[in-house]
Amino acid sequence: GQPKGVAITHAGLQNYLDHAVTTYWQSHLQAAVMSSPLSFDATVTSLFTPLLVGAPLQLIGNGENEFGELVNSLGNGPAKLAKLTPAHLDGLIHLNDSPINTAHYLVVGGEQLSCELYRQCRALFPQATFVNEYGPTETVVGCCINVLEPDSGLSHETNVAIGHPIQNTHLH
């Protein structure tokens, strides 16, 4: 479809970024990885969160080697924060078949996360924390989350649940 501009409030953006800093930025993380275009609302998470805490940010190009760069960046090195789409995760699974045993913090959004893809991602990233983040752009990136720790199990649903609202918000 056609890209659209969405007007959001500064208060909504401030609330989301405060949520991202307090919820997503964990003390063991060394950097963040940004692999989405600046025009994509998901970039707010991976761009501003590390900058607000004074952490390094690694930019991944959107060219033909994007998934290869992501695999290299998220390899068995220092733990990182990354905001990825399920399509990114699917690409990573197809490029790397050996487990990456780093405690990354992977925020997943932009489209629905299936339980099958999550299980494949869990096998690839057994030590990572996954966050299924849901929200239309109008809610400033995400309005609800489901945090999946390494020992979290899933029911036999088709898709990962969207979870509970972020701080200072309500779902109706």
Q: Is the pLDDT of residue 124 over 90?
A: yes
Q: In the structure, what pLDDT confidence band is assigned to residue 80 with cuts at 50, 70 and 90?
A: very high
**Tokens found for residue 5:** 């501009």
Query: Looking at the predicted structure, is the pLDDT value of residue 2 above 80?
Result: no
Would you state the pLDDT for residue 98?
87
Q: Which residues of 92-121 are buried (b: 16+ CB within 10 A; e: fewer)?
A: bbeebeeebebbbbbbbbbeebeeebbebb
Per-residue pLDDT tens digits for 4-40? 778 888 999 999 999 999 999 999 999 999 988 887 8
Short-list 26, 134, 146, 160, CA closest to 81: 26
Q: Higher model confidence: residue 128 or residue 1?
A: 128
pTM reported for the whole predicted model: 0.92
- Per residue in 97-123, pLDDT (tens digit) is 789 999 999 999 989 999 999 999 999
1 — pLDDT class (breaks 50, 70, 90): low
Average pLDDT, the chain: 90
Instruction: Please report the pLDDT score of residue 136 as a whole number.
Output: 85
Q: Which pLDDT belongs to residue 152?
A: 80
CA distances from 53 to 20, 99, 119 (A): 11, 29, 31
Please state the three-class secondary structure of 83-138 as a single string.
EECHHHHHHHHHHCCCCCCCCCEEEECCCCCEHHHHHHHHHHCCCCEEEEEECCHH
